[in-house]
């Protein structure tokens, strides 16, 4: 069933079947990329989570590996092995993850075989037996662990009731015994900031890393988290700032991906080439019933490289390795976009990589339509626009992306920094129901589910106002996954 589903992506990683959520344990170990993920092989539902595992040497093609972590028959992870990370403990690959038992989620540790395939849970689990005492917390789970001088440090995602989301800082000599240091930073649970960058009542999947670390003086620390509240996954955000001693001094708070919950629970790692690579979970936008019927749920984002932009924010781009999937290319000659819309007869498909450079005069809008049916009844519209006072916006219209009244078709949008003379470098990756948009380093990820997926292949461009098309190229992208069935439990 999962194989025949026309909404199933072909160059994004998906689980063999069943349920997938967060990326975990990201690492580049002896030349091999390891992607672990929150996995329920038994059903397309978030229940009794295992750790799935896949490996790749090029970040494009993935091989399924044996399920890495299975919830215990008893013990602290009997109800699930939740999100965590992989660290190198003096040559021994070691996982730190959240064991779930009833309502309790506590840090656990497992040691891996040299090939990272087989994992042995520590008999002393959980390695932290209770959240910090005397604090009324909203939750306590997910981990960020790193080596600092002679010690290990760890962040655990949490929230202080009435105050806001937070990350608790711990320290250890051996990854087994942990001393509580204190909250690294606490957000603001009041909704005063507005909905789109509300920091929630709990921070899931905290991820702290340094960018520009080779240029000492200019380095910036980034604290990524996913804002959560009472069982609702809101969106990924990040603070830029400086981490020193036991505190993080924030400079600013930003949205990580304008798709919100469609790019949730990101985790990153530095690869052996020194790049910061990030993955996240693309949630479904269709009903639980439709998902159960499809037999699979959840898409892993394309790996992205994150760097520090000139404006002090994160610049995001898909890893360059993905261009290996490019096949036939169609180009559109440069010139002014004079029509509000023109269908491009030569470009069509549901696996596409489109790159275009546009110049927007003040007060203009350019649009790129994908996944359009021949009658135009279903179409997904990416818009970039420039206001008269120079600001830019990136907007994804999904209102007409599907005639199915049960799927999510809310638009998505965010602020777009414009280049010189209103320049916009736009890249749109279409992979069946998965859509990843990059515009001048900002990202917007979402899902679309046309009801006539086999016909929703059309692509077109157009503009209102004065827009110059400087470049347009669209490639067909090959599938990255094999066609045959994949065992749910390799
Ligand atoms: C985020 C999350 C994490 C948790 C995991 C459970 O999506 O809820 O907080 O560890 O997923 O699968």
ipTM: 0.93
Q: For ligand 1, atom 12, name the residue with the nearest CA.
A: 82
Has this prediction a pTM greater than 0.95? Answer: yes
What's the pLDDT score for residue 4? 84
Count of positions (residues) in the chain = 490
Of 109, 105, 46, 101, the C-alpha closest to 78 is 101
82 lines ligand 1 (CB under 6 A): yes
17-318 carries CATH number 2.115.10.20? yes
22 lines ligand 1 (CB under 6 A): yes
In the reported structure, the alpha carbon of residue 141 is separated from the centroid of ligand 1 by a whole-number distance in angstroms of 8
| Other CB atoms within 10 A of residue 103 CB | 7
Q: Which atom of ligand 1 is nearest to the CA of 139?
A: 9
> Are the folds of 17-318 and 325-477 the same?
no
Of 198, 212, 123, the C-alpha closest to 164 is 198
Residue 292 CA to residue 235 CA, distance in Å, equals 24
204 lines ligand 1 (CB under 6 A): yes
**Contact 451/402 with Cβ under 8 angstroms?**
yes
Peptide bond preceding 114: is omega within 30 degrees of 0, i.e. cis? no
In the reported structure, the alpha carbon of residue 280 is separated from the centroid of ligand 1 by a whole-number distance in angstroms of 12
Residue 411 CA to residue 395 CA, distance in Å, equals 7
Residues 65-70: contacts with CB within 8 Å, 24+ apart? 65/116, 65/117, 65/490, 66/117, 66/118, 66/490, 67/39, 67/41, 67/489, 67/490, 68/25, 68/36, 68/95, 68/116, 68/117, 68/119, 69/95, 69/97, 69/110, 69/119, 69/121
**Domain ranges for the chain:** 17-318, 325-477
369 lines ligand 1 (CB under 6 A): no
Q: For ligand 1, atom 8, name the residue with the nearest CA.
A: 204
The DSSP bridge partners found for residue 463 are 366
What's the pLDDT score for residue 391? 95
282 lines ligand 1 (CB under 6 A): no
Q: Which atom of ligand 1 is nearest to the CA of 98?
A: 10
| Residue among 69, 83, 200 whose CB has most ligand 1 atoms within 8 A, to mutate | 83
Q: Which H/E stretch holds residue 456?
A: none
In the reported structure, the alpha carbon of residue 20 is separated from the centroid of ligand 1 by a whole-number distance in angstroms of 11
Residue 211 CA to residue 201 CA, distance in Å, equals 27
Q: Among the residues of 94-176, which ranges form H helices?
A: none
74 an active-site residue? no
In the reported structure, the alpha carbon of residue 204 is separated from the centroid of ligand 1 by a whole-number distance in angstroms of 7
The DSSP bridge partners found for residue 105 are 100
Q: Which H/E stretch holds residue 290?
A: helix 288-294
Q: Which atom of ligand 1 is nearest to the CA of 264?
A: 7
283 lines ligand 1 (CB under 6 A): no
Which residue shows structure tokens 């690492």?
Answer: 27
Of 332, 389, 395, 335, the C-alpha closest to 365 is 395
pLDDT of the chain along its 490 residues, tens only?
A: 566 899 999 999 999 999 999 999 999 999 999 999 999 999 999 999 999 999 999 999 999 999 999 999 999 999 999 999 999 999 999 999 999 999 999 999 999 999 999 999 999 999 999 999 999 999 999 999 999 999 999 999 999 999 999 999 999 999 999 999 999 999 999 988 789 999 999 999 999 999 987 666 679 999 999 999 999 999 999 999 999 999 999 999 999 999 999 999 999 999 999 999 999 999 999 999 999 999 999 999 999 999 999 999 999 999 999 999 999 999 999 999 999 999 999 999 999 999 999 999 999 999 999 999 999 999 999 999 999 998 999 999 999 999 999 999 999 999 999 999 999 999 999 999 999 999 999 999 999 999 999 999 999 999 999 999 999 999 999 999 877 789 888 7
98 lines ligand 1 (CB under 6 A): yes
436 lines ligand 1 (CB under 6 A): no
CATH topology of domain 325-477: Jelly Rolls (2.60.120)
Q: Which atom of ligand 1 is nearest to the CA of 105?
A: 10
What's the pLDDT score for residue 191? 84
In the reported structure, the alpha carbon of residue 206 is separated from the centroid of ligand 1 by a whole-number distance in angstroms of 11
In the reported structure, the alpha carbon of residue 186 is separated from the centroid of ligand 1 by a whole-number distance in angstroms of 20
105 lines ligand 1 (CB under 6 A): no
List C-alpha distances in Å: 234 to 78, 202, 238: 27, 10, 13
Write the pLDDT tens digit of every residue in 133-180: 999 999 999 999 999 999 999 999 999 999 999 999 999 999 999 999
Of 77, 70, 34, the C-alpha closest to 55 is 34
Q: Which atom of ligand 1 is nearest to the CA of 233?
A: 7
Q: Give 474's contacts (C-beta < 8 A, 6+ positions apart).
A: 329, 330, 331, 344, 347, 352, 353, 354, 355, 459
Residue 367 CA to residue 460 CA, distance in Å, equals 8
The 3-state DSSP class for residue 144 equals strand
Catalytic residue among 5, 22, 79, 311: 22
């Amino acid at each position: 069933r999962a194989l025949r589903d026309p909404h199933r992506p072909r160059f994004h990683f998906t689980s063999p079947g069943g349920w997938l959520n967060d990326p975990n344990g990201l690492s580049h170990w002896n030349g091999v990329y390891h992607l672990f993920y929150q996995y329920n092989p038994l059903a397309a539902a978030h229940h009794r989570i295992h750790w799935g595992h896949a490996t790749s040497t090029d970040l494009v093609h993935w091989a399924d590996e044996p399920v890495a972590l299975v919830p215990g028959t008893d013990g602290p992870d009997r109800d699930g092995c939740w999100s965590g990370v992989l660290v190198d403990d003096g040559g021994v690959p070691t996982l730190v993850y959240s064991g779930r038992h009833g309502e309790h989620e506590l840090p656990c540790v497992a040691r891996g075989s040299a090939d990272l395939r087989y994992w042995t849970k520590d008999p002393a689990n959980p390695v932290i037996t209770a959240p910090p005492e005397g604090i009324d917390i909203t939750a306590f789970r997910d981990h960020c662990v790193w080596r600092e001088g002679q010690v290990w440090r760890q962040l655990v995602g949490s929230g202080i009731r009435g105050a806001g989301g937070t990350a608790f800082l711990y320290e250890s000599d051996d990854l087994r015994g942990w001393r509580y240091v204190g909250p690294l930073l606490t957000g603001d649970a009041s909704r005063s900031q507005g909905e789109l960058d509300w920091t929630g009542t709990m921070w899931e999947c905290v991820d702290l890393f340094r960018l520009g670390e080779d240029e000492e003086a200019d380095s910036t620390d980034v604290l990524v988290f996913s804002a959560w509240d009472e069982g609702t996954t809101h969106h990924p955000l990040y603070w830029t700032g400086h981490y020193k001693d036991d505190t993080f001094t924030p400079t600013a708070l930003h949205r990580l991906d304008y798709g919100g919950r469609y790019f949730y629970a990101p985790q990153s790692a530095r690869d052996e080439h020194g790049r910061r690579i990030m993955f996240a979970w693309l949630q479904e936008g269709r009903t639980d019933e439709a998902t159960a019927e499809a037999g699979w749920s959840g898409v892993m984002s394309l790996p992205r490289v994150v760097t520090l932009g000139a404006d002090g924010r994160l610049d995001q781009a898909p890893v360059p390795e993905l261009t290996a999937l490019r096949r036939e290319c169609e180009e559109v000659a440069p010139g002014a976009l004079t029509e509000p819309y023109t269908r491009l007869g030569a470009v069509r498909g549901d696996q596409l990589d489109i790159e275009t450079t546009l110049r927007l005069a003040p007060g203009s809008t350019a649009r790129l339509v994908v996944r359009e049916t021949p009658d135009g009844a279903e179409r997904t519209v990416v818009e970039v626009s420039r206001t008269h006072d120079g600001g830019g916006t990136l907007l994804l219209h999904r209102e007409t992306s599907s005639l199915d009244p049960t799927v999510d078709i809310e638009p998505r949008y965010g602020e777009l920094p414009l280049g010189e003379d209103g320049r916009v470098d736009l890249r749109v990756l279409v992979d069946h129901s998965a859509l990843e948009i990059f515009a001048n380093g900002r990202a917007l990820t979402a899902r679309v589910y046309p009801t006539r997926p086999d016909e929703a292949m059309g692509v077109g461009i157009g503009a209102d106002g004065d827009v110059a098309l400087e470049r347009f190229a669209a490639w067909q992208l090959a599938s990255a996954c094999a066609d045959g069935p994949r065992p749910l439990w390799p």
